[in-house]
A and B are shown apart, each in its own frame.
Chain A
Amino acid sequence: MNDILDVLIRVPGVSGAALCNQQGECVLSQLIPPFEPILIKKVVSEVRGVFQMMRYLDDSEPQFLVLHFDDVVVAVRQIEELTLIALAVSTTNSTMLGVGLNVVNLKILEHGIANFELAAGTGSRSGSGLQSTPRPATGTTSGPIARSEGTSISSPGISGSDSGQQPAPDFIGDELVQHLVKALARQLGPAAKVVFKQQVKHIGLTVGTITPNNLSSVVDAVLQRLTDQAKREAFLTEVRALLRR
């Protein structure tokens, strides 16, 4: 079944490919040293960490991830519970790489996803030797990002109508929410808004359904993300001050 990866490996510049199951184990692989299934398993674990982070922004299923390093491109295609990963040199034609990933995706679906999930624990398979040797990248390295002046549209803040639904009649109000997020930002930095929304969602609420009755649950949920005792105290002090207003 390893030949399913052939179409990808034959794309000029692609130096290895693997298909990993839900546990991150390579159920198919065509890799050349020093790339080994054990390494790919760790890479896939980190890739899934990225997918998890993205859920802060978008709940829909991740599909593609492409990473550009100085000397290599890593392309990942998520196929339900399976993760298809390809390693290529930086000069690889992105369209051809995309087509290769799509064809492998179709072949996997044709064989049935379950067949690959069942391959868990059977160990990785050795490559067919069809790969090309990785070459150094040529001029794709990004330098420092340019600065420019001027900003236009203001950032949409966190608000009770973020979920697309009308806020609850006794919603605590956008102003108090903003103050809470700012208080959290003083402890957590720029991730505060994302973390706040996530914790609200974690307890089954939306920002617009935060009311005086459930506010303490929201604060408790947010506190779960502040592991440093001093930061917890500082946040709580600010929250108490806000509520006394």
Chain B
Amino acid sequence: MSELDKVLKVSPGLRGIARSNSSGSIEEFTGQVDAESVCAVASMCVQHLKRIEELLGCGELTSWALTTENTGFYVHHGREGLIAIVGEANKNPDALLRKTEAAIRGGR
């Protein structure tokens, strides 16, 4: 089982996971995910999030989660790129973000 598969098993609500490198190219993905689109949107969101990072001055962005009525979207940043996870909508995205973070760090 790959490291990404292990992260996906953190919650039954997670559908797919993808990893892209620092240039935005997909390196690996698994599950039901349009990896290119998800990683592209995550990369596009980063420009806004980096501005928040600058505004707040409270350290670097490490991870973030966004939920809509239909979807949960979890992104973890690292020096080598990002990992994006897609799942069902979740009322407590922070909890799931922390769980996936722990799974990613545990897999290293």
Contact = CB atoms under 8 A, between A and B. Distances in A.
Interface of A: 39, 42-43, 46-47, 49-51, 53-54, 56-58, 60-75, 87, 94-95, 97-98, 102, 134, 137, 140-153, 155-156, 189-194, 197
Given A54-B73, A68-B63, A191 B40 contact: yes
B92 A56 contact: no
A147 B61 contact: no
Contacts, number: 210
**CB-based closest 5 A-B pairs:** A70-B59, A145-B78, A148-B3, A94-B94, A60-B69
Contacts of B4: 148
A6 B99 CA distance: 28
Nearest to B89: A63
Interface residues of B, number: 72
A77 B70 CA distance: 15
Interface of B: 2-5, 16, 19-20, 24-41, 43-45, 47-49, 51-53, 55-56, 58-71, 73, 76-83, 89, 91-95, 97-98, 101, 104-105, 107-108
- Taking chain A's interface residues, is the majority helix, strand, or loop, or is none over half, making it mixed? mixed
Nearest to B108: A146
A50 B36 contact: no
